[in-house]
A and B are shown apart, each in its own frame.
Chain A
Amino acid sequence: MPSRRSTSNQVPTKDPKRSRLPTTSFLLEIGSEELPWQMIQPAMTQLAQLLEGFLANHRLSHDSLRTFGTPRRLAVLVQGLAAKQTPVLQETLGPSKSVAFDAQGHPTKAAEGFAKSQGVVVGTLETRETPKGVYLCAVKREKGLPSAQVLTEHLPGLLRQLTFSKTMRWNASGVRYPRPIRWLVAVVGSRALCFDFAGVRSGGHSWGHRFLSREKPGVASKGIRIRRPDMYEAALARGSVMVDPVRRREVIAGQLKQLARSVNGRVYQANHEELLDQAVFSLECPNVLSGTFDQTYLALPPEVLITSMKEHQGFFSVVNRKGELLHRFFAPTNMNVKNMELITKGNERVLAARLADARYFFDEDRKGKLADRVSQLHGVVFHKQLGSLYQKTERTISLAGALADAAGVPEVKESCQRAAFLSKADLVTGMVGEFPTLQGAMGEKYAAHDGESIEVCKAIGEYYQPRTPDDAVPETTVGRLLALADRLDTLAAFFYAGIVPSGSEDPFGLRRSAFGVIRIVIEAGLNINLGDIVKEAALLLDKQGVKAGGHAGSQTGGHTGPPLHQFLEERLRYYGRTVPGYREDVMESVLGRADGAECDLRDLFFRMDALQAITSQQDFESLIVGFKRAHRIVKKEAWTARTVEVALLTHPTERTLHQAVETAKRAVGQSLEAHDYHGALKHLIGLKSPIDQFFDGVLVNAPEPEVRANRLSLLRQVDDLFSAFGDLSQIQVQGQ
């Protein structure tokens, strides 16, 4: 067999009458037992993406695609779907004509073999001119298959591609899905498709609300018939199911608003969105009811009530106009019956039992002092390589003290250390055991009950802030310093043990911790050299006998990782990118040179801020062009550097530049000293004209070696002057 390369090429046939091709519509519904609510929205997005890709791959054009989702179903509706695939013309190149035909013009074995492999007869082979010569070509016209046929054949494969964070098996099909799949609806036009997946046969019938739909599994019911895809939403609405989450959100939000108005209050906002999401994706027929609890429970801290309502029951809390909690809750239910009183009473009783439990914990916890619980932290593991929470507490106390000194507020040192001592004690209380999210908040309450100072209590209550990127940083100085001490110890400890985030893996939330450090330092305006604190933290770990690994252990032969100061600087870069929106080259100019000896994040931030501000000034770009030219020459040329000799400055532009540099050197130095980075850059801007004129007026590489060396030394001074601020050679200039 002669060797040959064959290339395939699919060309959709052009059809100017595309818009007149018949279209249809398509509905797919995956009916299942109740899915976890968090999975539904992502699954809808995934289903849409998969189907978009699928339709494109199978040459099925469509106008629109819409997804639906409830706990018991994921669905997608495609409208304006081509009734048939776009036909294609497939051309496959074969052997060259000279090989394919002998001298008499008869086809050779090569031609016959190619025709056979393509499933065509030799007589139908065509030829194509290519840059390499004339080749044989098999042309196949593929007619478009009906979309219903394509979908029936390939939907099981499509469904198999859905992925979820946690899946299960339930029958012999071995299919994995978050909960068992119980029915499948697939309808194209007015025709139900029939395929098998996960032990279920697809068809044209769905099921409505478990209890409110007239159609129920069992005797003489096949479910709700979906006659046409576009009738899906309405058909399910008759089965008491609102398939569109947007609609459910509107209904729930509307009901909440109305209920709140009826009691002269408003829905507690802080956890409102989260609860709303949960309700929207937990219910098929949302109906919010309003209930009350015994007023005496209002004596409990509001955080406890709100958390109990939210985390145990998914209830919305209600506050009055002054923001005070009312003895009332709004419960999203999945039932809509005339008399909701029975359901309301049930929910009230459940909440009452929960609150009774909370009161029990609150009372029990306050029988002992928070300070007396600290020793129990010996028994709580912080991390198996990093000892107990008690050891962490010891380190945090030292760091909090060091931070108070470094921040120049020795007057709060004692409070910082006391707050650090108590900071983890609430983790061993009954209440935090029950509601882990109340850590900090309960510590504050219990510390206050024990008579600790307001400063200490407040710090314990707020040092976990910021919990999320939107959360505020702590308000008080002690709170801020404790927050830094806790996070820096965590960071230092994991880095010390060589447990550092890599890629998307960050199981201990170290990026979040570091981002918290950045935000507190910058937003609270703390000038602290964290370089010393980071060293101190490592020293404390060493003293406790924690085993070093990674970078810290590199001297003792461990593997290396990035040092902590670099990790912090990278988070600062992330902050600069996402919060003020600094240019990457601006941040690189400043951060590229940071060496960790002076890890003053706020100072680095100010440098970036000043540099970013000046980038919009008129002369900035040409200043950088001139500077970079000087920088390149200094880097490239070889000469013996020396101080500039005024006598050798022959050209006026040389003298002007020299004078300007001398003046600027003093001014820039003073500005940098005073951390006035805007000022420093302003002085540099002043060098623009002298530099430009210098390059216009003289040839640096003068024929006389003396003059050349003098000019290079002058440029070296310019380079040094700019470098005092940062690595400005990183700045990108338009058109360069």
Chain B
Amino acid sequence: MTACVPTLTLSGLVARFHYLGLFLPVRSNGYRSLAATIAVTVQNLILSLHQFWAHHNCIICQPYDLEKGAGTFNPATFLRALGPEPWRAAYVEPCRRPTDGRYGENPNRLQHYYQYQVVIKPCVDTIQSLYLESLSTLGIDLRKHDIQFIQDDWESPTLGAWGLGWEVRLDGMEITQFTYFQEAGGHTLDPVTVELTYGTERIAMYLQGVDNVYDLRWSEDVSYGDLFHDSEVQFSQYHFEVADIDMIRTMFASCEKECRTLLQQGLVLPAYDYCMKTSHLFNVLDARGALSVAERTGFIGRVRGLARGCADAYVERRKSLGFPLLAGSGAMPAASSKGKPKRLPS
């Protein structure tokens, strides 16, 4: 594998990141793995992925400013996967999964965390190799680890979407979801979008050799716990004990109504915002234990109905604009999986 980002070569890593002897004692046989001796801070991990995918002609998007359960909800994935226009983007997505809250007591579960999302349409033939190359630029020596692609067929009932792919495992640990979308919002996708979702905390824990997510180094001086522990405690308490069920039900209904109204007026992007809001509100109700299983199914169906409506309207809208990103317009760079990647000005 060729490291295409000079600042992240092995020597670069050693020079730039501090040692974490503190966390991991050197084994008695003297063997020290890269992962065991060098820590990649969470922020540097994100920067490296940005660098890597920017070099492979992805737009580096910013997180979308609404609560969502997964990076897939970001319009940069869900909406851009629809229709014939090409798309290549990478971004960090803060995700909220209220039911996964553990009051900051579980070393592996968070109700708020960061996915790193890459979406490429049409998917490139070398995508698996590219992905693996991205891992090696993070400092994972592919010849020393066991990386397996384990079948994982993805489905999002709320988005009316499904795809086939894998969870990628590094020495048994799931670090990435790898999906070839086949359908979204009830639309058959052609061309097919490939989506990579890196679990940034998981990978960072592995690289830093820590067993507790709160011990992660976010930067050289600040830990994940310093930044987010109290947020986990407060939001767990809010979602499980405090959230006003009646108010949230009302909000759900209002957002649902607004979404439908906006769709009628052809304002698909604002409409989709309200669709995303209903999805999050549903997740809060679910965490609060306010929904029976039967009711749950009903709510999921309502969100899916909105997502479908948005998908239909989005494709129509792009069509009326003449699919501006279609090849030839020059707006979207072609696939760059072959040849030397273009360098971004640094």
Cβ of A35: which chain B residues have Cβ within 8 Å of it? Answer: 151
Cβ of B180: which chain A residues have Cβ within 8 Å of it? Answer: 168, 170, 179-180
CB neighbors of B among A346-364 (8 A): 346-347, 349-353, 356-357, 360
Asked whether any CB of chain B lies closer than 8 Å to the CB of A379, the reply is: yes
Q: Is the CB of B172 within 8 A of A346?
A: yes
Quick one: closest B residue to A389, CB to CB? B293
How far apart are the CA atoms of A426 and B284 in the complex, in Å? 24
Q: Would you list the 5 A-B pairs with minimal beta carbon distance, nearest first?
A: A346-B171, A379-B292, A36-B151, A34-B149, A347-B172
| Interface-lining segment among A61-69, A269-277, A329-337, A542-550 | A329-337
- Supposing A166-B153, A217-B126, A360-B106 touch, asked if A34 and B166 sit within 8 A by C-beta, the answer is yes
Cβ of A180: which chain B residues have Cβ within 8 Å of it? Answer: 125, 180
- Supposing A217-B126, A339-B144, A379-B292 touch, asked if A350 and B191 sit within 8 A by C-beta, the answer is no
Taken residue by residue from 674 to 711, chain A's Cβ proximity to chain B (1 for < 8 Å, 0 otherwise) reads as 00000000000000000000000000000000000000
Asked whether any CB of chain A lies closer than 8 Å to the CB of B122, the reply is: yes
Taken residue by residue from 292 to 327, chain B's Cβ proximity to chain A (1 for < 8 Å, 0 otherwise) reads as 111101000000000000000000000000000000
CB neighbors of A among B20-48 (8 A): 27, 31, 33, 35-36
Residue from A34, A178, A337 whose CB has the most chain B CB atoms within 10 Å: A34
Quick one: closest B residue to A174, CB to CB? B190
- Choose one: B143, B163, B211; the contact of A337 (CB below 8 Å): B143
- Supposing A342-B35, A343-B171 touch, asked if A349 and B294 sit within 8 A by C-beta, the answer is no
Asked whether any CB of chain A lies closer than 8 Å to the CB of B250, the reply is: no
Q: Is the CB of A357 within 8 A of B31?
A: no
Quick one: closest B residue to A37, CB to CB? B151
Question: What residues of chain B have their CB less than 8 Å away from a CB belonging to chain A?
Answer: 2, 27, 31, 33, 35-36, 102, 106-109, 122-123, 125-126, 128-129, 132, 142-151, 153, 163-164, 166, 170-173, 180, 182, 190-192, 206, 211, 291-295, 297
Q: Is the CB of A379 within 8 A of B149?
A: no
Instruction: Report whether over half of chain B's contact residues are helix, strand or loop; otherwise say mixed.
Output: loop
Asked whether any CB of chain B lies closer than 8 Å to the CB of A380, the reply is: yes
Cβ of B142: which chain A residues have Cβ within 8 Å of it? Answer: 211
Q: Is the CB of A350 within 8 A of B171?
A: yes
- Supposing A211-B143, A313-B172, A379-B293 touch, asked if A339 and B31 sit within 8 A by C-beta, the answer is yes
Quick one: closest A residue to B108, CB to CB? A353
How far apart are the CA atoms of A212 and B144 in the complex, in Å? 10
Cβ of A346: which chain B residues have Cβ within 8 Å of it? Answer: 145-146, 170-173, 206
Cβ of A169: which chain B residues have Cβ within 8 Å of it? Answer: 182, 190, 192
How far apart are the CA atoms of A333 and B211 in the complex, in Å? 22
- Choose one: A34, A171, A218, A379; the contact of B129 (CB below 8 Å): A218
Q: Is the CB of B172 within 8 A of A350?
A: yes
Quick one: closest A residue to B35, CB to CB? A342
Residue from B36, B164, B170, B180 whose CB has the most chain A CB atoms within 10 Å: B164
Q: Is the CB of A333 within 8 A of B294?
A: no
Quick one: closest A residue to B297, CB to CB? A381
Shortest CB–CB separation between residue A526 and chain B, in angstroms?
A: 34
Cβ of A335: which chain B residues have Cβ within 8 Å of it? Answer: 145-146
Q: Is the CB of A378 within 8 A of B292?
A: yes
Q: Is the CB of A379 within 8 A of B295?
A: yes
- Choose one: A179, A342, A356; the contact of B171 (CB below 8 Å): A342
Shortest CB–CB separation between residue A329 and chain B, in angstroms?
A: 10
Residue from B108, B145, B151 whose CB has the most chain A CB atoms within 10 Å: B151
How far apart are the CA atoms of A343 and B147 in the complex, in Å? 10
CB neighbors of B among A170-202 (8 A): 170-172, 178-180, 182
How far apart are the CA atoms of A33 and B148 in the complex, in Å? 11
Q: Is the CB of B144 within 8 A of A337?
A: yes
Quick one: closest B residue to A219, CB to CB? B2
Cβ of A36: which chain B residues have Cβ within 8 Å of it? Answer: 151
> Tally of A-B residue pairs with Cβ under 8 A?
117
Cβ of B151: which chain A residues have Cβ within 8 Å of it? Answer: 34-37
Q: Is the CB of B122 within 8 A of A171?
A: yes
Shortest CB–CB separation between residue B30 and chain A, in angstroms?
A: 11
Cβ of B33: which chain A residues have Cβ within 8 Å of it? Answer: 342
- Supposing A34-B151, A342-B144 touch, asked if A356 and B170 sit within 8 A by C-beta, the answer is no
Taken residue by residue from 560 to 593, chain A's Cβ proximity to chain B (1 for < 8 Å, 0 otherwise) reads as 0000000000000000000000000000000000
- Choose one: B31, B129, B150; the contact of A341 (CB below 8 Å): B31
11 residue pairs A–B, Cβ–Cβ below 8 Å: A169-B192, A210-B147, A211-B142, A218-B129, A346-B145, A346-B170, A349-B211, A351-B172, A353-B107, A357-B108, A380-B294
Cβ of B2: which chain A residues have Cβ within 8 Å of it? Answer: 218-219
Q: Is the CB of A356 within 8 A of B107?
A: yes
Quick one: closest A residue to B148, CB to CB? A334
How far apart are the CA atoms of A352 and B210 in the complex, in Å? 13
Q: Is the CB of B164 within 8 A of A168?
A: yes
Asked whether any CB of chain B lies closer than 8 Å to the CB of A388, the reply is: yes
Contacts A171-B125, A345-B171, A357-B109 known; list 19 others, CB within 8 Å. A34-B149, A168-B164, A170-B192, A172-B122, A172-B191, A179-B180, A182-B125, A211-B142, A218-B2, A219-B2, A342-B145, A349-B173, A350-B173, A351-B172, A360-B102, A379-B291, A379-B295, A381-B294, A381-B297
How far apart are the CA atoms of A331 and B148 in the complex, in Å? 13
Cβ of B126: which chain A residues have Cβ within 8 Å of it? Answer: 217
Cβ of A179: which chain B residues have Cβ within 8 Å of it? Answer: 164, 180
Asked whether any CB of chain B lies closer than 8 Å to the CB of A147, the reply is: no
Taken residue by residue from 141 to 169, chain A's Cβ proximity to chain B (1 for < 8 Å, 0 otherwise) reads as 00000000000000000000000001011
Asked whether any CB of chain B lies closer than 8 Å to the CB of A282, the reply is: yes
Shortest CB–CB separation between residue B336 and chain A, in angstroms?
A: 14
Cβ of B125: which chain A residues have Cβ within 8 Å of it? Answer: 171, 180, 182
Taken residue by residue from 281 to 323, chain A's Cβ proximity to chain B (1 for < 8 Å, 0 otherwise) reads as 0110000000000000000000000000000010000000000
Q: Is the CB of A356 within 8 A of B108?
A: yes
How far apart are the CA atoms of A31 and B166 in the complex, in Å? 17
Cβ of A212: which chain B residues have Cβ within 8 Å of it? Answer: 143
How far apart are the CA atoms of A282 and B144 in the complex, in Å? 19
Cβ of A378: which chain B residues have Cβ within 8 Å of it? Answer: 292
Quick one: closest A residue to B29, CB to CB? A341
How far apart are the CA atoms of A169 and B162 in the complex, in Å? 12
Q: Is the CB of B149 within 8 A of A33?
A: yes
Q: Is the CB of A282 within 8 A of B150?
A: yes
Cβ of B166: which chain A residues have Cβ within 8 Å of it? Answer: 34
Cβ of B107: which chain A residues have Cβ within 8 Å of it? Answer: 353, 356
Residue from B109, B144, B211 whose CB has the most chain A CB atoms within 10 Å: B144
How far apart are the CA atoms of A380 and B296 in the complex, in Å? 10
Cβ of A342: which chain B residues have Cβ within 8 Å of it? Answer: 33, 35-36, 144-145, 171
Cβ of A339: which chain B residues have Cβ within 8 Å of it? Answer: 31, 144
Quick one: closest B residue to A199, CB to CB? B125
Residue from A35, A333, A352, A353 whose CB has the most chain B CB atoms within 10 Å: A353
- Choose one: A219, A347, A360, A379; the contact of B294 (CB below 8 Å): A379
Residue from B35, B36, B171, B182 whose CB has the most chain A CB atoms within 10 Å: B171
Shortest CB–CB separation between residue A648 and chain B, in angstroms?
A: 75
- Choose one: B123, B147, B292, B295; the contact of A170 (CB below 8 Å): B123
CB neighbors of B among A472-527 (8 A): none
Cβ of B146: which chain A residues have Cβ within 8 Å of it? Answer: 333-335, 343, 346
Shortest CB–CB separation between residue B327 and chain A, in angstroms?
A: 12
Q: Is the CB of A178 within 8 A of B173?
A: no
Residue from B27, B147, B149, B180 whose CB has the most chain A CB atoms within 10 Å: B149
Q: Is the CB of B211 within 8 A of A352?
A: yes
Q: Is the CB of B172 within 8 A of A168?
A: no
Cβ of A360: which chain B residues have Cβ within 8 Å of it? Answer: 102, 106
Cβ of B132: which chain A residues have Cβ within 8 Å of it? Answer: 210
How far apart are the CA atoms of A381 and B180 in the complex, in Å? 32
How far apart are the CA atoms of A380 and B247 in the complex, in Å? 24
Shortest CB–CB separation between residue A338 and chain B, in angstroms?
A: 10
How far apart are the CA atoms of A345 and B205 in the complex, in Å? 13
How far apart are the CA atoms of A653 and B181 in the complex, in Å? 85
Cβ of A353: which chain B residues have Cβ within 8 Å of it? Answer: 107-108, 211
Cβ of A71: which chain B residues have Cβ within 8 Å of it? Answer: 149
Quick one: closest B residue to A315, CB to CB? B172
Cβ of B191: which chain A residues have Cβ within 8 Å of it? Answer: 171-172
